[in-house]
Amino acid sequence: MLLHTLYLVGIVAEAMTAALAAGRRSMDWVGVALLGCVTALGGGSARDVLLGNYPLAWVKHPEYLAFTAGAALLTILIARVMHHLRWAFLVLDAVGLVAFTIIGCDVGLRMGVPVPIAIVAGMITGCVGGVLRDVLCNDVPLLFRAELYASVSVLTGALYLGGLHLGLAHDLVMAIAMTFGMTLRILAIWRKWNMPKFIYERDLH
């Protein structure tokens, strides 16, 4: 129940970042709504298509599409004040990342995949939406370049599945994993933590 609420927070946060990215590319209102839906629901859709888990969430619950498109369009109205909300926004985005990750792990477990793949399912749920957003905006995905995002997702998923494996109470494990993931994500943004970069300039051909 709580997880479902946090999921809704997450899709709203993802739809709103997508709307701002759409605005930076001067997309029209249709583009804003579409990019919001693809970004917010694309991670879960990619997971379900890769695992063969039908029907997809938004096919069963068309209201998610309306909700997401609505959040994206609303962003147009409040864009002017969004930078004042920067920190609130990054927190909501972190909530979304960890909620998506845990939901993805749960789907993986329910489908009986090996544990490492359940962690990957969590990471795909948390991260692929942003990759699709960046590809559609003609950017190299941020996920591949900077910030601890995929790593936060993987560590959160590993902690969650590890806790369940140890037989701890489900709600406790979830609370610990989410707190850990959100703290790590927010610290990483605040302290500007980054993974080392690989720079290569030759052309092999």
- Residue ranges that bind its own copies, judged by CB under 8 A: 17, 19-20, 22-32, 34-35, 45, 49-52, 54-56, 58-59, 62, 65-66, 76, 79, 82-83, 86, 89, 113-114, 116-117, 120, 131, 135-141, 143-146, 150-151, 189, 194-205
Tell the smallest beta-carbon distance from residue 147 to its own copies (Å): 9
Nearer to its own copies, 19 or 103 (CB): 19
Tell the smallest beta-carbon distance from residue 192 to its own copies (Å): 10
* Residue 112, CA distances (Å) to 103, 105, 121 in order: 14, 11, 12
DSSP designation for 192:
T
Nearer to its own copies, 139 or 176 (CB): 139
Nearer to its own copies, 48 or 174 (CB): 48
Nearer to its own copies, 32 or 103 (CB): 32
CA angle 33, 46, 10 (to 5 degrees): 55
CA-closest candidate to residue 79, choices 138, 25, 131, 17 = 17
In this structure, what are the phi and psi dihedrals at residue 141, rounded to the nearest 5 degrees? -55, 130
Query: In the Cβ-directed half-sphere of 179, how many Cα atoms lie within 13 Å?
Result: 6
Tell the smallest beta-carbon distance from residue 169 to its own copies (Å): 27
